[in-house]
């Protein structure tokens, strides 16, 4: 008999749904007492529906006390049903999603009380999309690699090398497209290192990925001090891609400025999402990749070259991760800074799990983080009484809650992380 079997079982053990229900009740009570009763009876917030958030912009006036009390009461009711175990299993994820959305909306309304200008929901949506782009691309890299059976923890390192290379190549050659190509190749090079040690020499893929992340962080920090800072004007001033509005679609109210008025990275993300989704699940190539990740021995018996397939897929994922890294520099700020990615590669891994190793699901996970990140930035800019250090934690807390609360039973590819030894 094993040791675990001999241990006494706890008298009372809560299910995951019940724990989330208790959390929902707590958030609901916080919404009622802190956000609702914590403001004056006539307090209101102005939430704008255009990019112009000045005094004359069209905005919705939200009575904060009433809205927060009502939302909080509904959150308590929903959480109570979950905590009691009376919620249907399939409805638990939707209930948790509702609680999180309601809480963030109440928090936004409370934070905007008494501000002279309207808080633009369009700007919030635009920031959400922009901040989600590298997470989506990194998640696509993770989906490809893990579908082929290779765990890619090194996405963060590929982000960093892509961001650094994009800045320095774009500056040195005087062209943003050169920087984008260089960033993609840098991500592929680190992917090649990962594939070489993981596939050929069977090195533990999790440990290898962490080592590559530390290597990339140390290398970029060292080169920043020795190369970029002394030659800032010539090697770290590439500029960034301008926004391009899609004719017709960009003029759609509310949606147009959010989805169809961005730079090249936004449109590359759209394209790569479609290509990866169709490629993995609608083509012969995708069937081979998935078979290699599920049952490499069976794939080998029908003539599929397992190791070669994994090499190619990891390199392809590295190219995408390098493009994602470039979005941090030539896609937004126009220069490289130490640790500019701030752990976004690990968030991309969480998005992979959140999405059940599917591109569409990973997109939703990335948007959750992007929304929380954009919200904390917006709330900080309007002068929230909450300390900025706590606000900076919001995106990561939201990611943990989303992965813990919205992800049911998911199964990774059966051969994920397992080296293939040809018999």
If phi > 0 it is left, if psi is from -120 to 50 it is alpha, else beta; for residue 339 that is left
* Average confidence (pLDDT) per 10 residues, the chain, 423 residues: 47 74 93 90 79 59 91 95 87 84 87 72 89 96 97 97 97 95 97 96 95 97 95 93 93 90 96 97 96 95 95 97 97 94 93 92 89 82 70 78 68 92 78
Longest CA–CA separation in the chain, Å: 75
CA–CA gap between residue 52 and residue 377 (Å, rounded):
18
* Beta bridge pairs of residue 45: 62
Copy the structure tokens of residue 54.
């000045």
Identify the pLDDT of residue 116.
60
DSSP state of 89: G
Strands (E), 102-214: 119-120
Backbone angles phi, psi at 29, to 5 degrees: -65, -40
168, 227 Cβ separation under 8 angstroms: yes
Structural contact between residues 109 and 65, judged by C-beta atoms closer than 8 angstroms: no
First to last CA, the chain: 34
Distance of CA 177 to the CA centre of its chain: 25
User: From start to end of 170-279, where are the E strands?
Assistant: 244-245, 261-262
Q: CB under 8 Å to 227, separation ≥6 — which residues?
A: 168, 235
- Reduce the secondary structure of 324-369 to three states and give it as a string: HHHCCHHHHHCCCCCCCCCCHHHHHHHHHHHCCCCHHHHHHHHHHH
Would you list the DSSP string of 139-155? Answer: HHHHHHHHHTT---TTH
Give the start-end residues of each E strand in 211-275.
244-245, 261-262
Per-residue confidence (pLDDT) for residue 293, from 0 to 100:
96
């Amino acid at each position: 008999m094993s040791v675990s079997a001999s241990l006494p079982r706890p008298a009372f053990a809560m299910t995951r749904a019940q724990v989330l229900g208790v959390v929902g009740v707590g958030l609901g009570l916080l919404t009622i007492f802190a956000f609702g009763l914590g403001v004056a009876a006539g307090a209101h917030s102005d939430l704008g529906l255009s990019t112009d958030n000045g005094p004359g912009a069209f905005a919705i006036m939200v009575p904060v006390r009433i809205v927060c009390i009502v939302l909080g009461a509904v959150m308590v009711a929903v959480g109570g049903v979950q905590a009691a175990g009376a919620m249907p299993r399939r409805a638990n994820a939707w209930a948790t999603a509702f609680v999180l959305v309601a809480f963030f909306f109440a928090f936004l309304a409370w934070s905007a009380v008494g501000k002279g200008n309207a808080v633009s929901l369009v700007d919030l949506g635009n920031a959400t999309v922009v901040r989600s782009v590298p997470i989506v691309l990194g998640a696509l890299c993770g989906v490809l690699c893990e579908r082929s059976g290779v765990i890619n923890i090194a996405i963060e390192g590929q982000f960093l090398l892509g961001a650094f290379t994009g800045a320095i190549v774009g500056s040195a050659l005087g062209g943003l497209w050169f920087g984008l190509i260089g960033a993609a190749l840098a991500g592929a090079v680190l992917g090649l290192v990962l594939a070489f040690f993981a596939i050929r020499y069977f090195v533990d893929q999790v440990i290898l990925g962490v080592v590559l992340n530390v290597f990339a962080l140390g290398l970029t920090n060292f080169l920043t001090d020795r190369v970029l800072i002394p030659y800032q004007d010539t090697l770290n001033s590439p500029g960034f891609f301008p926004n391009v509005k899609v004719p017709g679609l960009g003029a759609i109210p509310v949606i147009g400025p959010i989805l169809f008025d961005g730079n090249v990275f936004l449109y590359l993300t759209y394209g790569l999402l479609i290509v990866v989704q169709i490629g993995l699940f609608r083509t012969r190539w995708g069937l081979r990749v998935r078979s290699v990740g599920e049952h490499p021995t069976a794939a080998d018996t029908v003539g599929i070259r397992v190791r070669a397939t994994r090499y190619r897929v990891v390199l392809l994922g590295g190219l995408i991760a390098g493009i994602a890294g470039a979005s941090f520099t030539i896609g937004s700020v126009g220069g490289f800074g130490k640790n500019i990615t701030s752990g976004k590669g690990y968030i991309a891994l969480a998005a992979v799990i959140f999405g059940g190793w599917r591109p569409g699901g990973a997109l939703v996970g990335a948007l959750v983080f992007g929304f929380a990140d954009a919200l904390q930035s917006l709330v900080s800019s309007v002068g929230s009484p909450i300390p900025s250090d706590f606000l900076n934690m919001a995106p990561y807390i939201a990611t943990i809650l989303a992965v813990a609360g919205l992800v049911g039973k998911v199964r990774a590819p059966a051969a994920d992380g397992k080296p293939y030894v040809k018999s």
